[in-house]
Amino acid sequence: MARTAAIVSSCVLIAAFVDVAHADGQQTFESLARPFLQKHCLDCHGPDSQEGDVSFHKLTGVDTDNVELWKRVWEQVALKEMPPRDEINQPAPIDRLRLSKWITGEIERAMKDKGGFHAHRHPSKGNHLDHDLLFGTVPEGLEPASTPARIWRIQPQEHLTRLNELINREPDFNPERPGLRTRGDFIGPNLEGEVKVYFGLDRLIGWVGGTAAYAAAITGFSPVFSTEAHHGLRNYPMLYSVNGSEATQIAAIAEDVLHFMAYGPDAEPYQFADKVGDIDNKYKHESLRGLSQSLFYSKSPKRPLTPVYELMNEPGVSDDRLRAAVNYLFEALTCRPPSTSESDEYLGVLKEAIDDLGKEEGVMLGLTPIFLDRDALFRTELVEYGTPDKYGRVMLQEQELALAINAAFSYIPPDEALKQAVQQGRMKTRDDVKREVTRILEDDRIRKPRVLQFFREYFDYDRAGTVCKDTNALVSAGGDAKMETHFRAMFGMTANTDRLIELILQEDKNVLQELLTTDRVVFDATKDMRYFAEYVGIDKSLPKPEAEPTDGRKKKGKGLPNSIRATPLPKGQEIHVRIAKVVTPTKTQRVLTTLPAEQRRGILTHPSWLVSHTDAMDNHAILRGRWIRERLLGGAVPDVPITVDAMLPDEPTETLRHRMRVTREDYCWKCHQKMDPLGLPFEMYNHIGLYRTKEHDEPVDTTGEIINSGEPSLDGPVNNALEMIDKLARSERVKQVFVRHAFRYWMGRNETINDAPILQDAWQAYERSGGSMKAMLTSLLTSDAFLYRTRPEETLANAK
Amino acid sequence: MALINRRGMLQGVTASIGAAVGASLLPGRALAESATRATTSAGKPKRIIFFLQNQGFDPETCVPEGLDAGASLAGVTLPEPISPLEPYKGKINIITGIHGRHTSPSHSAYFGALGGYRGGIGVAPSGETIDHVLSQLLPQTILPHLRIGMDALENMISRPTLATLSASGPGKPLFMHSNPNSLYEMLFGGISTGDVKRRFEARSKVFNRIEELAGQGGRTLPTKERERYDSYVDGFREVNGLRERLAGVSDHLKKFAPEYGDKFLKPEFETDWHDSLLDLGIAALKSGVTNVLTIGSGRGEIFGSWKGLGVVQAGHNLGHVKQPDNPIWIKIRQYNCQMLVKLMDALESMPEGDGTMMDNTLIVYTSNNADKQHTSGANWPFILLGNCSGRIKTGQYTQLDGKRPINALYTTLLHAIDAPRDRFNMDKTTAGMHDPKVGPIEELMA
């Protein structure tokens, strides 16, 4: 029904579409905004009535003083919050779009010298563009899509993985044992949540002292870059640059990396042996614990032996050796071979440093600049050399194109086949792109951490280990009294969810639906049983549970607390997950098993996702509801007005649902009705993810409602999260919204009306292929939005 | 990053080095005397320190009991949370009744707290902040503005730099340093190699070349992208300039370097690093390297951790409790005040002109969050410490009427350092709504 309506309204407004799609700067306050305000707003927000203390009749345009007001107007109009839904005289979607575009353009103009205005470009505002406009009839005359020419600061993991490539040799992919960490996979956190690259870890045969001493002795480095720490997509190029402090850190790490590439572990000869037993006991004195001298390494090098090693391993210097080192590093760090002038440039710097400091020090210092080359920190999409088409678009070519394709999947440099394609002039056309994308997608040996990262950002299941828990709240929900144990379980379960997603991606059938409804789980029997159990509460008729030992050690064989009833799961089959091994060999073995249908379904019911959407004390129904609203229904909630004191009453003996009564006040409910009824069905789990049927000794209320979803067949009450998930997983709109998020992630920007045909094609590709992520990605990565860039006139003129 | 004109910077380097080798100069004065942009003499304001604790500063925790309206602090006892300041109450001015409604301080005003404009999470600064402005107006130093940020240990490790409070202009955030090891290296790295001239020169040459290459890399970028990229080039330029300038005065700096030991290298709690960062800040002030120090305790955000004080709770929940009579907040506030005392003592120990460095210093203590975590910003308490070369009244509690904004206080600071303006970051239209007067807050001026 809604779809039909959308198609009708779209057809009527074809002419208007064209106008919105490329009429920047044509409209004025008088020609566009005032008539809109007069027609739809002034009755309630004008001279005679100022509902909510808001009035528009004195507005004459956008300036720095009224930006806040206009921003609210933009969000209210774009999100169909205003005029109120019961108002019969609603603006057409195209008129809403036209006004929204005008307002954001005007705010950008007004804020140009005041720090700019970027909010509308942020991924969290992507849904401000009406879903039905994007998926309705695509009008003729719409200009084809493209993306502005730009640079991407490389992602923290991308940077770390590339540096890791220089010093550690990771195993190749083994199809017999998928799931183990292999070359090209991201550097996962260890069970403490720490992400780090270590020097010489693979060569270590022993050490003095315990694991704490070892952890203190081994050296490594953490990611230098960071991304915004928030829920949702984070991978937009507009959000990041490199600051001076980061550049300084990179320079420092570069010298350590180069030193290791040349010489291996920084250790005395006595620290190397075939086995620890061969090392003299005098070097195993406990006073060495925690020091780098306490580590023992195997005699044979395991690190990659690169031209930097070759240069330092023989006496003297030769131009050939120096150039080989420069070229090797340049390609390893920028993912492309250097031009002759680039190679000459860095060779010159290197030689000068050697002249100044001698070979040993000069090489370390002289090669550092390559780590700070623009293209080692940023990936460019500048189309500097192409000829624009009639729309001013230039297609990415050759090296830039190859790197864009590579970066859609991988963190490490392109494989040989892709490099060959560039060298042989087979990286020019859309067909070339399709050929390479298909090849990469079909080859499991080429690891695709970027694809997994999309699911982390789309689902937000990877934050469970970062949610601080109140100790009492943790224990009373059935958690372990030792906070550390809880966090370790959460990081472990995040890795388990990673693996389940990879498995579903490998099957590549009805991917979204499967993720939302699968009965499968990757399960660690030793740690996860507690979290997949049922919380039954303390039965006062039973004897008191035995107190935990105060030193935090667990009694041998001690089972789950009385408040928990274990959920029996089938034995399942063995599967491996990626947990970074740091201190001791970490167990990577898990089982792939199934969960009882009456308790859980899909990753939204797994503790990794559930706990990611909680706070220290309780569930976060608002956050969960917001997730459903944004990521599945394609809706959005305007920014919280600054006047809102967003706090629930502190009533520990009451249910969250009861405490959330405050959001039902008229002023709050307008927004909260979009979130709360979608989040409260998850009250069937407590705040550490345990299933429950009772709360405070009463049957837990798990009802909720889908309100104004945009797809009327979805709207209506639901009894619990499982029923709601089933309903949503079948929805066409939900799949389209999934495609919208994939578009944003891979294009690095919010969609515009010009992208409508691309989104529809990608969705069709997904639908026709039976829900294949590969088909959808192939469609997106061969689209104009991915392939074409527009450059502003002035830079085209300046470009050499 | 702060944009320093390269030519000006190099001139500054030469001047600073020249000044530093002049053995007759007193240590504290040595570098400041090399000012090229401001003339100065003893008895004029020389330095300003900002200390912002996150999660709000409840007026009930700083106004002495029984003092309803403004009055002298003599004869009254300071409330428990700020009791460490008791011996110094003749030198402080407790102020309430300033507002920051326009800064949207609920949770945090972020850049707006020192900018006097609307801030919010993820919102770019819409103008320069007062600390940066003052750093440009006070006698010029090698590192005009040092910013340190204190947070949970894990956060300081994982995000050793963060920009939430200071800015050099619209869209130009200034980063705080949170890893004391990196900051130590930056400030005092030259000491250990100060005499290895050959190495230093080779390094400078390579790093200057990186800067040039980075600059070339931005030439053909589209305008918007170039702005983003320039923050990398500028950052590198600043780092280069600073390294050269600091290395040039390493012999002088040596005297002020804090002990580099376990507190830096093996911190047990986050407070070990908080203390280390403060020590570095003090060293930078005493050595004359810096004239403006901004301290962000909680780094302008809604998190933070003080396990070293025995506060088990961390993060956002700390803001969900009322501060008055709360043992956690008493501990945190007292810890802040002990830091303020340490700053004052350190500066009092340094002769300057006819008195001490503290005589020419002003410390501004407040929160980036007005009075509490969820707030309209109607009452934003401050404590000023030191009289700024006699320009600011001290020894009193000043209760204002809630009509003048934080911008007026910042205007007052500009007047106090002889750089008067009518208003700070507030145009006439906004002032029409938020500030009925022009110029400094008269009640505060001596």
**Domain spans, chain B:** 28-178+269-444
Nearest CA in chain B to A377: B232
Question: Bridge-partner residues for A698, per DSSP?
Answer: A695
Residue A442 has pLDDT above 70, yes or no: yes
Question: In sequence order, what are the residues at sequence separation of 6 or more whose Cβ sits closer than 8 angstroms to the Cβ of residue A469?
Answer: A479, A483, A486, A616, A687, A688
**Range among A462-471, A588-597, B173-182, B307-316 with highest mean pLDDT value:** A588-597
pLDDT of B20: 30
Contact A243 B161 (CB under 8 A): yes
Distance of residue B214 Cα from the nearest chain A Cα, in angstroms: 6
Q: Chain A residues with CB inside 8 Å of B182's CB?
A: 245, 248-249
pLDDT of A568: 92
**Range among A184-193, B222-231, B341-350 with highest mean pLDDT value:** B341-350
Residue A309 has pLDDT above 80, yes or no: yes
- Decide which of B96 and B219 is more confident: B96
Lowest mean pLDDT among A61-70, A297-306, A363-372, A639-648: A639-648
Q: Give the A:B interface size as CB pairs under 8 Å.
A: 161
Contact A647 B427 (CB under 8 A): no
What percentage of chain A has pLDDT greater than the value 70?
A: 90
Contact B317 A353 (CB under 8 A): no
HEC profile of A430-461: HHHHHHHHHHHHHCCCCCCHHHHHHHHHHHCC
A642 and B CB contact within 8 Å:
yes
Using CA atoms, how far apart are residues A99 and A774, in angstroms rounded to an integer?
A: 37
Contact B158 A226 (CB under 8 A): yes
Contact A378 B238 (CB under 8 A): no
A470-525 confidence digits (pLDDT tens): 778 889 999 988 777 888 899 899 999 999 999 999 999 999 999 999 999 999 98
Residue B1 has pLDDT above 80, yes or no: no
pLDDT of B317: 64
pTM score of the predicted model: 0.77
Using CA atoms, how far apart are residues B113 and B51, in angstroms rounded to an integer?
A: 11
Residue B235 has its nearest CB partner, among A222, A244, A356, at A244
Residue B35 has pLDDT above 50, yes or no: no
Using CA atoms, how far apart are residues B4 and B238, in angstroms rounded to an integer?
A: 7
pLDDT of B10: 29
Contact A800 B220 (CB under 8 A): yes
Mean pLDDT of A39-62: 87
Residue B27 has pLDDT above 50, yes or no: no
Residue B430 has its nearest CB partner, among A65, A111, A372, at A65
Mean pLDDT of A71-95: 89
User: Could you write out the DSSP letters of every residue in B24-49?
Assistant: TS-HHHHHHTT-SS----TTS--EEE
Residue A1 has pLDDT above 50, yes or no: no
Residues 57-96 of A with CB under 8 A from B: 64-65, 68
Nearest CA in chain B to A384: B220
pLDDT of A192: 67
B136-163 confidence digits (pLDDT tens): 999 989 999 999 999 988 778 766 777 8
Residue of A146, A248, A618, A620 best to disrupt the B interface, most CBs of B under 10 A:
A248
Bond preceding residue A83 cis, omega within 30 of 0: yes
Mean pLDDT of B241-270: 87
- What is the CATH number that goes with domain B28-178+269-444? 3.40.720
Contact B228 A799 (CB under 8 A): no
pLDDT of A181: 83
Contact A369 B235 (CB under 8 A): no
Lowest mean pLDDT among A65-69, A193-197, B439-443: A193-197
pLDDT of A584: 57
Residue B44 has pLDDT above 80, yes or no: yes
Q: Per this entry, what is the length of chain B? A: 446
pLDDT of A285: 78
Which tokens is B304 given?
Answer: 């933070």
Using CA atoms, how far apart are residues A220 and A256, in angstroms rounded to an integer?
A: 9
pLDDT of B400: 96
* Structure confidence at residue A160 as a pLDDT band (50, 70, 90): very high
**Range among A425-434, A639-648, B187-196 with highest mean pLDDT value:** A425-434
Mean pLDDT of A165-180: 88
Q: Chain B residues with CB inside 8 Å of A342's CB?
A: none
Residue A19 has pLDDT above 80, yes or no: no
Nearest CA in chain A to B105: A642
Residue B222 has its nearest CB partner, among A116, A148, A222, at A148
A430 and B CB contact within 8 Å:
no
A644-686 confidence digits (pLDDT tens): 656 788 788 899 999 999 899 888 898 899 999 999 999 999 9
Residue A694 has pLDDT above 80, yes or no: yes
Distance of residue B206 Cα from the nearest chain A Cα, in angstroms: 7
pLDDT of A543: 56
pLDDT of A291: 66
Contact B239 A249 (CB under 8 A): no
Residue A366 has its nearest CB partner, among B206, B225, B235, at B206
Using CA atoms, how far apart are residues B151 and B315, in angstroms rounded to an integer?
A: 9
Strand, coil or helix: what is A429?
coil
Q: Chain B residues with CB inside 8 Å of A241's CB?
A: 228-229, 231-232
Question: Bridge-partner residues for B173, per DSSP?
Answer: B167
Lowest mean pLDDT among A152-161, B253-262, B282-291: B253-262
Residue A221 has pLDDT above 90, yes or no: no
Contact A374 B239 (CB under 8 A): no
Lowest mean pLDDT among A153-167, A290-304, A575-589, B25-39: B25-39
Q: Chain A residues with CB inside 8 Å of B209's CB?
A: 349, 369
Q: Chain B residues with CB inside 8 Å of A353's CB?
A: 202, 205-206
Average pLDDT of chain A is: 88
Residue B231 has its nearest CB partner, among A241, A384, A792, at A241
Which tokens is A335 given?
Answer: 């993912």
Q: Which residues of A146-170 are buried (b: 16+ CB within 10 A; e: fewer)?
A: bbebbbbbbbbbbbbbbbbbbbbeb
Q: Chain B residues with CB inside 8 Å of A368's CB?
A: 206, 210
pLDDT of B203: 80
Structural element, H or E, at residue B146: strand B145-150
Contact A151 B239 (CB under 8 A): no
A91 CA to centre of own chain: 35
- Decide which of A2 and B280 is more confident: B280
Nearest CA in chain B to A382: B221
pLDDT of A290: 61
Residue A692 has pLDDT above 70, yes or no: yes
Mean pLDDT of B9-34: 32
Residue A4 has pLDDT above 50, yes or no: no
pLDDT of A10: 41
Nearest CA in chain A to B220: A799
pLDDT of B2: 32
Lowest mean pLDDT among A94-103, A217-226, A560-569: A217-226
pLDDT of B92: 97
Q: Are strands B351-352 and B355-356 parallel, antiparallel or unpaired?
A: antiparallel
Using CA atoms, how far apart are residues A34 and B133, in angstroms rounded to an integer?
A: 40
* Structure confidence at residue A585 as a pLDDT band (50, 70, 90): low
pLDDT of A162: 96
Q: Which amino acid is at A209?
A: G
Using CA atoms, how far apart are residues B253 and A244, in angstroms rounded to an integer?
A: 22
Q: Are strands B382-385 and A694-695 parallel, antiparallel or unpaired?
A: unpaired
B402-419 confidence digits (pLDDT tens): 999 999 999 999 999 999
pLDDT of A273: 92
* Phi/psi of residue B305, nearest 5 degrees: -155, 140
Average pLDDT of chain B is: 84
Q: Which residues of B137-158 are buried (b: 16+ CB within 10 A; e: fewer)?
A: bbbbbbbbbbbbbbbbbebbbb
Which tokens is B199 given?
Answer: 């190495």
Using CA atoms, how far apart are residues A24 and A33, in angstroms rounded to an integer?
A: 14
* Structure confidence at residue B389 as a pLDDT band (50, 70, 90): very high
Contact B232 A150 (CB under 8 A): no
Mean pLDDT of B273-302: 95
Contact A799 B223 (CB under 8 A): no
Q: Chain B residues with CB inside 8 Å of A116's CB?
A: 124, 170-171
Q: Chain B residues with CB inside 8 Å of A249's CB?
A: 160, 182
**CA-closest candidate to residue A518, choices A504, A528, A507:** A504
Residue A264 has pLDDT above 70, yes or no: yes
Q: Which residue's structure tokens are 């919208």?
A: A740
pLDDT of A216: 59
B308-366 confidence digits (pLDDT tens): 998 877 665 677 788 999 999 999 999 999 999 999 999 999 999 999 999 999 999 99
Residue A59 has pLDDT above 90, yes or no: no
Instruction: Evaluate whether B343 touches B65 at the Cβ level (below 8 Å).
Output: no
Mean pLDDT of A738-756: 97
Orientation angle between helical segments A483-507 and A449-459, nearest 10 degrees: 120
Q: Chain B residues with CB inside 8 Å of A800's CB?
A: 220
Q: How far apart are the first and last CA of chain B?
A: 35
* H-assigned helices in A508-540: 511-517, 525-528
